[in-house]
A and B are shown apart, each in its own frame.
Chain A
Amino acid sequence: MTVLRFLIRRMVSAVPVLFVVSLVTFALIAIVPGDVTAELAGAEATAEQRAVLRDQLGLNQPLYQQALRWYGNLLQGDLGHSYLLNMSVTDAVLERLPVTLSLAGLALVLAVVLGVLLGVLAAIRHDSWVDQGTMSVALIGLSVPDFWLGLIMISVFSVGLAWFPTGGYVPFSEDALGWARSMALPALALAFTQMGVIARMTRSSMLEVMGQDYIRTARAKGMRRHTVVFKHALRNALVPVITVIGVMTGVLLGGAVVIESVFSLPGVGRLIIGAIQRRDFPIIQGGLLITASLFVFVNILVDLAYGWFDPRVRNDR
């Protein structure tokens, strides 16, 4: 019951957040020069030709009118229609969401599993060569740009060894193996950087927890090292790591655009970046709102997860 109340409270408090996001997007769109008529009419179009197009698209209306119309439609569940894609914004985003969710989900799983393992390993073998080795790997992950890693992976695993395709997306529903093959390299390239962050975070958090009195007590009671590390230490050490994972999920959902470009994946990131480049305002507006909603939703899940990892948080609610 408490959880349900918490969920409802958080959902309600998300509404003003999303409202502000959409308002800021509107303001930014208004500030940025140029509009979609540049793309529609071409470089040689005259100011008059573009003005006619602008009229047809309603871009000449005052900003508040455009905003009111957009919010009015939003209340009816309509995010608008793309100027360039000949489809509704909802369809355009939903079409790409499986790609982005696959990429972000796989990258997140890889980053968390590898990152936490490396972090724990480094912490329990503190100041040894294992610590230095794993932290070096983490540092490389943090330092290597993901697009470069992606291109190197394509060169080695796709062109050289022909194990994976160079790019493109295969829907899971069509071919599960094809989906896994098309996602393996981009997810790994994306996960590598995030893995570095998680590994370093886990290590420092683990070291802090391992020095606490209750760990010493647990050891003094004669508990097995394995139990001490994974049951007592790691569960507590993961609380700050979860915060990082929450933020990271947001980044992965909206910001995997570079990897999406390198591997030619038709994801939400590329959709929004393409819309910004071509000033397809409805896509920018709707796409960002959906991405922000996902971000808020993931953070609600993260807050719920705190409760699972740390009973004190649960009681505070």
Chain B
Amino acid sequence: MPKISLWRMLMATGAALFIGLSASATDAQSMGGDLIVAQASNPPSLDAMVTTSQMSRNITMNIYETLYGFSDSIVPIPILATGVEISEDGLTYRFPLRAGVKFHNGKEMGAEDVRASLERYKAIGGTASMLAGVTSIEASGPLEVTLTMEKPFPGFLEAFASPRAPAVIIPAEEAAKPANEIEVIGTGPYKFVEYVPDSHVRLERFADYAADETHADIDGFGGKKTAYLDSVTFRVIPEPGAAVAALEAGEVQLLEQIPVPTARRLAGNSEMKVYENTPWAFLVFIFNLNEAPADNPKFREAVQIALNSEEIMAIATEGLFNLYHGWMYEGTTYDAGEIGKDRYNIADLDRARALLAEAGYSGQPFTILTDTQGPERNKAAVVIAEQLRAIGVNVVINQVDWPTALQIRLQDTGWSAWTLTMGIEPYLGPEALISTFTGPATHFRKADPELDALYAELVETADLAARKAVFARIQQRLDSFAPVIKLGETGLMQASSAKLEGFRPFRFPRVYNVWFAD
């Protein structure tokens, strides 16, 4: 007897409740207009499957769609599928597909397109590991695809819905092409027109877009999407001051990110709307467990006790931050409550010095690796360095450009700690986050067998209460073993023209369901 997921019933009920509301809301929304969005850099690729870049996601998630995606409350919901039937043994996932969905080239989406897209993802997808346990992808009907698993994977749907490098559906003909060589064709509300690197990416409303009528409104990555605008242009404006000037001059109507002080200035301007997109990411400090002095747990504890996270976050984020010790956002499903609070934002220098002495630290250089691209990361490194010097650590900062930092951090030696912002992983949930801390490719360069065992237990546990309990033990281990320190949570400030209506901050700028006031 196949299980039918509960969310579908909930969605249907929700849709029924909101139908009246949406009808009246639609009246106020006007069609037409050209929106210009500014972002700081080029999308490295518009082949959504192969890139994990936020700059790509900002654009591609308005063009492509996935079978499943996250809702506003971070629960997997169907987008191009109508649901999923999971077999009792957890080995078969049958996805019925929505009928009448068209690609931007006019072709109607069928099971073969989905099969070919997922096969392509399995071969070259940015997070292809999520399909590693899938032994077969089969077009089991004209509008139905069946995935067979090697062994049960309770968190599969969450992994499958991940927008990190989304498993988007493209026409089968395109799916046969190598990475970055496809024509940009999706099923989303906007279709691709042109990309001029360092200048802009232009999209147009897709007139034949098949909206998901089971919803009343957008919901996370899915829901009922309506393209009100005639066109949307993502302009690449690298200089933040110039981007704000373009908004003030009316040449741009939406800024994907603005500096925090600028947001404060614009907040008083009646022609602008300012949005706070929080929480956005974790700012973390990762140790290299392979090299002294950070290989010593007592040394790491000394660092943990010395750090004044409030000071670090205030300076690194220019004031837009949240202090929370938990490895999941406060109040979310897996939040482990008070665990770890006793070692967070302590700033007890005497205790830290005593721990340092206990660790037998004798002045070896402690090299903090950071990069030039992320101001939050390099400012945090500077403040941490000062705080650790105060307890007698011989800190050296190695600030390099981003590709160099990524190269160095993959080496077993030559660095002691690294500042990193983790945006999408904590958003996706415990498995996505903890997977980066475990296994042979852990961020720490040396796996912790205890953490690895807990992660394996989490992956195999299906019951929610049991999963929460496992995660609480993971949180405990992260705090006592301290291979990584969570410094705090960052946010993102965004701004638009006051004429732009309906915009709601999210993991990417959703340019559907937004319109211009008359």
On A, residues with C-beta under 8 Å from B are 32-36, 38-44, 46-48, 50, 84-86, 92, 95-96, 147, 151, 154-155, 158-159, 162, 165-169, 261-267, 270-271, 274, 277-279
Number of B interface residues in the complex (CB < 8 A): 44
Closest 6 CB pairs of A and B: A34-B403, A46-B441, A42-B52, A266-B198, A34-B407, A38-B406
Specify which chain B residues have a CB less than 8 angstroms from the CB of A270 in the assembled complex: 198, 238
- Contact yes or no, B199 A168, CB < 8 A: yes
Min Cβ gap A93→B in Å is: 12
Specify which chain B residues have a CB less than 8 angstroms from the CB of A43 in the assembled complex: 52, 406, 420
- Chain B 355-387, CB-CB to A under 8 Å as 1, else 0, gives 000000000000000000100000000000000
In the complex, what distance in Å separates the CA atom of A84 from the CA atom of B42?
Answer: 10
In the complex, what distance in Å separates the CA atom of A86 from the CA atom of B239?
Answer: 25
Specify which chain B residues have a CB less than 8 angstroms from the CB of A158 in the assembled complex: 245, 249
Specify which chain B residues have a CB less than 8 angstroms from the CB of A167 in the assembled complex: 237, 242, 246, 251
Given A39-B53, A86-B181, A261-B239, 7 new contacts (CB under 8 A): A34-B406, A34-B407, A50-B410, A166-B242, A267-B198, A270-B198, A277-B403
In this assembly, does B50 line the interface, its C-beta being within 8 Å of a C-beta of chain A?
Answer: yes
In this assembly, does B404 line the interface, its C-beta being within 8 Å of a C-beta of chain A?
Answer: yes
Specify which chain B residues have a CB less than 8 angstroms from the CB of A84 in the assembled complex: 44-45, 180
- Contact yes or no, A277 B441, CB < 8 A: no
Majority secondary structure of chain B interface residues (helix, strand, loop or mixed): loop
Q: Which of A34, A42, A169 contacts B51 (CB 8 A)?
A: A42
Specify which chain B residues have a CB less than 8 angstroms from the CB of A48 in the assembled complex: 441
In the complex, what distance in Å separates the CA atom of A196 from the CA atom of B110?
Answer: 65
In the complex, what distance in Å separates the CA atom of A257 from the CA atom of B470?
Answer: 52
- Contact yes or no, A38 B407, CB < 8 A: yes
In the complex, what distance in Å separates the CA atom of A96 from the CA atom of B199?
Answer: 10
- Contact yes or no, A44 B52, CB < 8 A: yes
Specify which chain A residues have a CB less than 8 angstroms from the CB of B42 in the assembled complex: 274
A262-B242, A266-B196 known; A40 and B50 CB under 8 Å? yes
- Chain B 404-438, CB-CB to A under 8 Å as 1, else 0, gives 11111010000000001000010000000000100
In this assembly, does B248 line the interface, its C-beta being within 8 Å of a C-beta of chain A?
Answer: yes
Q: Which of A39, A165, A262, A266 contacts B199 (CB 8 A)?
A: A266
In this assembly, does B236 line the interface, its C-beta being within 8 Å of a C-beta of chain A?
Answer: yes
In this assembly, does B337 line the interface, its C-beta being within 8 Å of a C-beta of chain A?
Answer: no
Q: Which of A50, A165, A274 has the most CB of B within 10 A?
A: A274
In the complex, what distance in Å separates the CA atom of A278 from the CA atom of B196?
Answer: 17
Specify which chain B residues have a CB less than 8 angstroms from the CB of A86 in the assembled complex: 45, 180-181
- Contact yes or no, B251 A264, CB < 8 A: no
Total inter-chain residue pairs, C-beta < 8 Å: 123
Nearest opposing residue in chain B for A87, CB measure: B197
In the complex, what distance in Å separates the CA atom of A207 from the CA atom of B241?
Answer: 42
- Contact yes or no, B50 A262, CB < 8 A: no
Nearest opposing residue in chain A for B406, CB measure: A38
Specify which chain A residues have a CB less than 8 angstroms from the CB of B506 in the assembled complex: none
- Of the A-B pairs whose beta carbons lie under 8 Å apart in the complex, a sample of 28, sorted by A's number, is A33-B403, A33-B408, A34-B403, A34-B404, A34-B407, A36-B403, A38-B407, A39-B44, A40-B44, A47-B441, A84-B44, A84-B45, A147-B239, A151-B241, A151-B242, A167-B242, A261-B238, A263-B242, A264-B199, A264-B235, A264-B236, A265-B198, A266-B236, A267-B198, A271-B197, A271-B198, A274-B41, A277-B401
Specify which chain B residues have a CB less than 8 angstroms from the CB of A261 in the assembled complex: 238-239
Nearest opposing residue in chain B for A162, CB measure: B249
In this assembly, does B155 line the interface, its C-beta being within 8 Å of a C-beta of chain A?
Answer: no
In the complex, what distance in Å separates the CA atom of A34 from the CA atom of B242?
Answer: 30
Q: Which of A38, A39, A42, A85 contacts B197 (CB 8 A)?
A: A85
- Contact yes or no, A44 B425, CB < 8 A: yes
Specify which chain B residues have a CB less than 8 angstroms from the CB of A277 in the assembled complex: 373, 401-403
Specify which chain B residues have a CB less than 8 angstroms from the CB of A155 in the assembled complex: 245
Min Cβ gap A56→B in Å is: 8
Min Cβ gap A52→B in Å is: 10
- Contact yes or no, B403 A279, CB < 8 A: yes
In the complex, what distance in Å separates the CA atom of A42 from the CA atom of B410?
Answer: 12
In the complex, what distance in Å separates the CA atom of A108 from the CA atom of B388?
Answer: 51
In this assembly, does B154 line the interface, its C-beta being within 8 Å of a C-beta of chain A?
Answer: no
- Chain B 2-38, CB-CB to A under 8 Å as 1, else 0, gives 0000000000000000000000000000000000000
A38-B403, A41-B126 known; A262 and B52 CB under 8 Å? no
In the complex, what distance in Å separates the CA atom of A92 from the CA atom of B165?
Answer: 26
Min Cβ gap A49→B in Å is: 8
Specify which chain A residues have a CB less than 8 angstroms from the CB of B441 in the assembled complex: 46-48
Min Cβ gap A65→B in Å is: 21
A86-B180, A151-B242, A166-B251 known; A32 and B53 CB under 8 Å? no
Specify which chain B residues have a CB less than 8 angstroms from the CB of A265 in the assembled complex: 198
In the complex, what distance in Å separates the CA atom of A26 from the CA atom of B414?
Answer: 25
Min Cβ gap B404→A in Å is: 5
Specify which chain B residues have a CB less than 8 angstroms from the CB of A159 in the assembled complex: 245, 248-249
Specify which chain B residues have a CB less than 8 angstroms from the CB of A165 in the assembled complex: 249, 251
- Contact yes or no, A154 B44, CB < 8 A: no
Nearest opposing residue in chain B for A85, CB measure: B197
Specify which chain B residues have a CB less than 8 angstroms from the CB of A33 in the assembled complex: 400, 403-404, 407-408
